Amino acid sequence: MPQETTIMALAGLAASIGFIHTILGPDHYLPFIVMSRARGWSKPKTAFITFLCGLGHVGSSVVLGFVGVALGVAVSRLTSIESVRGDIAAYLFIAFGLAYFVWGVRRAIRNKPHTHAHFGSDDPDHAHEHTHNGKHMHVHDSPEKVSITPWVLFTVFVFGPCEPLIPILMYPAAMKSYFGLIFVTSVFAVVTIATMMAAVFFGSLGISFIPIKRIERYSHALAGATIALCGVLIVLGL
Determine the pLDDT at residue 112. 65
Confidence of residue 47 (pLDDT cuts 50, 70, 90): very high
Domain count, the chain: 1
Exposed/middle/buried for residue 169 (C-beta within 10 Å: 0-12, 13-18, 19+): buried
Is there a domain that residue 15 lies in? no
Distance of CA 4 to the CA centre of its chain: 35
Determine the pLDDT at residue 201. 96
Q: Which helix (H) or strand (E) holds 117?
A: strand 114-117
Is there a domain that residue 94 lies in? yes
Determine the pLDDT at residue 68. 84
Interval 62-95: pLDDT, tens: 888 888 878 877 777 888 888 888 899 999 999 9
Determine the pLDDT at residue 123. 53
Determine the pLDDT at residue 139. 35
The answer to whether 61 and 166 are in contact (CB under 8 A) is yes
Residues of 83-106 as b/e, b for ≥16 C-beta within 10 angstroms?
A: eebbeebbbbbbebbeebbeebee
Is there a domain that residue 42 lies in? yes
What would the mean pLDDT of 154-162 be, rounded to a whole number?
A: 90
∠ CA 160-59-29, nearest 5°, is 50
Q: What are phi and psi of 231, to 5 degrees?
A: -65, -40
**Entry field: residues in the chain:** 238
Is there a domain that residue 124 lies in? no
Is there a domain that residue 102 lies in? yes
Residue 125 has pLDDT above 80, yes or no: no
Is there a domain that residue 43 lies in? yes
Interval 177-232: pLDDT, tens: 788 888 999 999 999 999 999 999 999 998 877 776 677 788 899 999 999 999 99
Is there a domain that residue 19 lies in? no
Is there a domain that residue 16 lies in? no
Tell me how far CA of residue 143 lies from CA of 40, 108, 139, in angstroms.
16, 18, 9
Q: Which domain holds residue 160?
A: 25-112+147-235
